[in-house]
Amino acid sequence: MKQFIILTFLICSFQVEAQLSFNFAWKNEKIELLKYYPLEEKDSIQFSDLKCYLSNIELKGKGIKDCKLASSVYLVDAQDVTSYILDNSIDTRNFNSISFTFGLDSIINTSGDLEGALDPVLGMYWAWNTGYIHHKIVGHSSLVPTPSQLFDFHIGGYRKPNATYFNLDLPLIGSTIELDLYQLFNENINLNLSHQLVVPGKLAFELATVLKSSIRIK
């Protein structure tokens, strides 16, 4: 009986690993809110709010029919760990690549659909003419030269040439889409000089491009 229980646990654990999920990461470590992470400048950083939109997710198979996820829009919120599971019914081992939009394309931004993951009450909507915040990254660091030491980056915008959404097609070598924030804060943001962004534009596009390059499948 004991052996049966152990075997069942191992099988279930393996199945969970095959679910499609998402992580915010710092190097090889999953980010925990309010935990301190070291910066190369011999300082540290902590995150209090992390949100990210993914949309139009489709898995492409090994000789089987492609699978488009039921919902067209997913809002991953670090304050809601259940949002990390994008789909718990698909076995990712049956597929060899994944395509998705990192952010929300112009069609979704202008659709007028303000329900579900697009509900403005979730704090990711600017206005009809600027659309949605695609990535929200908020936290604290002593490098920020203000009394609150707060940094607040709202990265969004759907209008070219500074659109902050990208269509990606990646090999599905694992079951987790991971967004690593280490490069963004160690190579592209100087918190002494820049600690707030709340409008679309060139800087938002540049930061979104860095985030795109920091996505990996694990």
More confident residue, 10 or 19: 19
Chain segment 88-140, per-residue pLDDT in tens: 998 999 999 999 999 999 999 999 999 999 999 999 999 999 999 999 999 99
The residues near 156 (Cβ < 8 Å, ≥ 6 apart) are: 103, 126, 130, 131, 132, 133, 134, 135, 164, 200, 204
DSSP string, 159-210: STTS---EEEEEE-SSSEEEEE-HHIIIII--TTT--EE-S-SHHHHHHHHH
Strand partners, 70: none
Chain segment 46-101, per-residue pLDDT in tens: 999 999 999 999 999 877 788 999 899 999 999 999 999 999 998 999 999 999 99
Strand partners, 52: 76, 135
Mean pLDDT, the chain, rounded, equals: 91
**Confidence label for 17 from pLDDT (cuts 50, 70 and 90):** low
Give the domain ranges of the chain. 2-217
Bin 166: left if φ > 0, else alpha if -120 < ψ < 50, else beta.
beta
Strand partners, 49: 138
Most distant pair of Cα atoms in the chain: their distance: 63
Residue 40 confidence (pLDDT): 84
